[in-house]
Structure formats: structure tokens, C-alpha cells
């Protein structure tokens, strides 16, 4: 992936995608930066929808005012979704995380994976990219991931997965996430992107000499625990003083653009950022998907 986003080759030109469990649009930015076009969005949370609409009204105004800016995925008829090439979904992680007590498919949020599956089955996209917490990899001794893999393979798709770290893809955050990628043409070979150096450190983000080069993983809640708490994730030592993360710092740690703004409270903003994806990491994976699909098309045309 190019180190300068302005020099990124538009490998996604001509491709369309849908953004499920869209949050505040991390996937959307990642694929938009590569030239792809979003044709459908689904997000249930009213505050996240507000933030999404506020920031994407300049990019996809018609989409945001249409029925294709949808809410509850369980109520969506898959047939009504426009045709698309890539399915993107950062589906709910709580059922598979420590904070969510690792209930997995016993948690109703865990069953939302099957809504992804039914959309894939109906729409038959060229590829998909899914994101979740690294705990999904070992949840229920690996049986949960194996079940997901079986579901996807029974739909006729390949299934690649790997735990990636955000700080391997340009942003200073120790955010480890499980990425899952698959292709309708099962003979397509895929490799996850190679890491590249940090573009900035926590010292750059916090405007002083920070004791940590790479920051803690952004979380959904429990702010203000302080340096002395073993669960601390939002307080840093900068120039010898304790500094608490604010939304403007967390936005940089997730790789959002400078002109991104929140029309909601700081509490909601931090929750939304904790639920979001590290954009450069997703963009790197998406770029590999587009390159792989392009290579496959070229091979078939020979």
C-alpha cells in the first residue's frame, strides 16, 4: 500500500461494495480511498448513524437519503440490496470478546453473522472482508471460527483468515483484529498485506514526549481509569504529566481523515471510535483483494 494516501493507486475503480454493521464508516473510507463505490449501508445504532451521515453527506449524499441507508440488518430483505462486488462487515465483536463474556453464538449478537451469510448467499458477491476481535480465533477452542468457515465454504466461497495489528499498518495502536477474506472463485489465491512502518507515534498525536510509541487498544467504555489501573487504556504520560485521550487523538489512532467530526457527545464519540476499525489496516487488506480480483480477471481473459 502506498505510504501517501494521495498517491494510492485507485485499484478499486469500477468495484462496488456494501457496508454492513457500518458504525461510523471506517470500511467506507478504506474502500472509497481505493476508488470503490458504496451502494448500500446498514447500521442500527442511531448515534452512529448520525455521525455517519454527518461525515459522508459530501461523499454519498443520494445514498444517505435513500432506502439503501438501512437500519436493522435482521429486517433487511437481501433481494432488495443492490448488486455489489465486495461485502464489508465489522460485525459485533462483544459475543467473542473478554468484555462480552465470550458467549459467542449463545449471544443474540453472535447470530448476526448468519445475516451476513444469507446476504452472501443471495447476492453472490465476488469477495467479502470481515473483521472481529482476535478472541474469535480461539473462542470455544476454535470451534466458533470453524463453524463460520464451514458456513462460508458451504456457500461456495474460500475462507482466509489472519490476526493483524494496526501498528503494522501505519497507525500507533496496539489493536489486534481477526480479518477474514473470501472469494466466490475458490481457486483464487490470496495473501494478506505485508506490514509497513508507522506514519506517526503517540508523541506526534499527543503533542509531547509520550512514554509509549504505540498506544493501547481503543475500547468502547470504562474511560478514566488512570495510569495506576491495570485496565488503563486512555491515559498516557506526556512530558511527565498524565494526559487523557480525547476524540481528536483517537481519530488519528484509527486513521480517520482530518476533516472528520462528531455531531454527538465526547462519550458517544469515544464509544464509536472504540467500535470502529483501523482504516489503514482495512485499506491494506482491501487493496490486496482488489489486486487479487484484478489479477484473476486478467488471467481469465488470456
Can you tell me the distance from the alpha carbon of 25 to that of 83, in angstroms, rounded to the nearest whole number? 20
> Total structural domains in the chain?
1
Average pLDDT, stretch 120-148?
A: 89
- Cα–Cα distances in Å, from 40 out to 78, 87, 91, 171, 202? 11, 10, 16, 28, 35
Percent of the chain with pLDDT over 70: 89
Res. 67: pLDDT tops 70: yes
pLDDT at 301: 56
**For residue 252, is it within any domain?**
no
**For residue 29, is it within any domain?**
yes
Model pLDDT for residues 216-232, shown as the tens digit of each residue? 999 987 777 788 888 89
**For residue 219, is it within any domain?**
no
Three cell numbers written together for 60:
454519498
pLDDT band per the 50, 70, 90 thresholds, residue 116: very high
Model pLDDT for residues 77-109, shown as the tens digit of each residue? 999 999 999 999 998 755 444 444 445 444 434
CATH label of the domain that carries residue 69:
3.40.50.150
Q: Which domain range does residue 23 map to?
A: 5-198+278-301
Average pLDDT, stretch 135-141?
A: 80
**For residue 246, is it within any domain?**
no
| Cα four-point dihedral sign 182, 185, 186, 191 | negative
Can you tell me the distance from the alpha carbon of 23 to that of 223, in angstroms, rounded to the nearest whole number? 20
**For residue 283, is it within any domain?**
yes
Q: Which residues are catalytic?
A: 93
Q: Are 128 and 120 in contact (CB under 8 A)?
A: yes
**For residue 213, is it within any domain?**
no
Can you tell me the distance from the alpha carbon of 262 to that of 179, in angstroms, rounded to the nearest whole number? 27
Can you tell me the distance from the alpha carbon of 231 to that of 247, in angstroms, rounded to the nearest whole number? 19
Can you tell me the distance from the alpha carbon of 32 to that of 245, in angstroms, rounded to the nearest whole number? 28
**For residue 263, is it within any domain?**
no
Can you tell me the distance from the alpha carbon of 296 to that of 302, in angstroms, rounded to the nearest whole number? 10
Can you tell me the distance from the alpha carbon of 22 to that of 53, in angstroms, rounded to the nearest whole number? 11
Can you tell me the distance from the alpha carbon of 146 to that of 152, in angstroms, rounded to the nearest whole number? 10
**For residue 266, is it within any domain?**
no
Q: Are 52 and 71 in contact (CB under 8 A)?
A: no
Least confident of 130-144, 205-219, 231-245: 130-144
pLDDT at 299: 64
Rounded to the nearest integer, the mean pLDDT of the chain is 89
pLDDT band per the 50, 70, 90 thresholds, residue 298: low
Can you tell me the distance from the alpha carbon of 27 to that of 136, in angstroms, rounded to the nearest whole number? 20
Residues 6+ apart with CB under 8 A from 177: 131, 132, 133, 134, 163, 164, 166, 277, 278, 281
pLDDT band per the 50, 70, 90 thresholds, residue 215: very high
pLDDT at 18: 98
Amino acid at each position: 500500500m502506498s505510504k501517501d494516501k494521495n498517491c494510492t493507486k485507485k485499484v478499486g475503480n469500477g468495484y462496488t461494495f456494501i457496508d454492513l454493521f457500518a458504525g461510523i464508516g471506517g470500511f467506507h473510507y478504506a474502500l472509497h480511498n481505493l476508488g470503490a463505490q458504496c451502494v448500500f449501508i446498514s447500521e442500527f445504532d442511531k448515534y452512529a448513524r448520525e455521525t455517519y451521515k454527518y461525515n459522508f453527506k459530501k461523499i454519498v449524499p443520494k445514498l444517505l437519503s435513500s432506502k439503501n441507508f438501512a437500519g436493522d440488518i435482521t429486517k433487511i430483505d437481501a433481494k432488495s440490496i443492490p448488486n455489489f462486488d465486495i461485502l464489508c462487515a465489522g460485525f459485533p465483536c462483544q459475543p467473542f470478546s473478554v468484555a462480552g463474556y465470550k458467549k459467542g453464538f449463545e449471544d443474540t449478537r453472535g447470530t448476526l453473522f448468519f445475516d451476513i451469510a444469507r446476504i452472501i448467499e443471495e447476492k453472490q458477491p465476488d469477495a467479502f472482508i470481515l473483521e472481529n476481535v482476535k478472541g474469535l480465533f480461539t473462542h470455544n477452542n476454535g470451534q466458533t471460527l470453524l463453524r463460520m468457515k464451514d458456513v462460508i465454504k458451504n456457500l461456495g466461497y474460500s475462507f482466509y483468515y489472519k490476526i493483524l495489528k494496526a501498528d503494522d499498518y501505519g497507525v500507533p495502536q496496539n489493536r489486534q483484529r481477526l480479518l477474514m477474506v473470501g472469494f466466490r472463485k475458490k481457486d483464487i489465491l490470496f495473501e494478506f498485506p505485508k506490514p509497513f512502518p508507522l506514519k506517526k507515534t503517540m508523541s506526534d498525536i499527543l503533542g509531547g514526549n509520550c512514554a509509549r510509541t504505540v498506544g493501547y487498544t481503543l475500547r468502547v467504555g470504562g474511560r478514566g481509569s488512570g495510569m495506576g489501573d491495570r485496565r488503563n487504556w486512555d491515559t498516557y504520560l506526556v512530558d511527565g504529566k498524565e494526559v487523557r485521550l480525547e476524540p481528536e487523538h483517537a481519530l488519528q489512532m484509527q486513521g480517520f481523515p482530518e476533516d472528520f467530526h462528531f455531531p454527538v457527545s465526547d462519550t458517544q464519540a469515544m464509544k464509536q471510535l472504540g467500535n470502529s476499525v483501523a482504516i489503514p489496516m482495512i485499506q491494506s487488506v482491501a487493496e490486496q483483494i482488489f489486486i487479487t480480483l484484478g489479477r484473476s480477471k486478467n488471467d481469465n481473459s488470456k
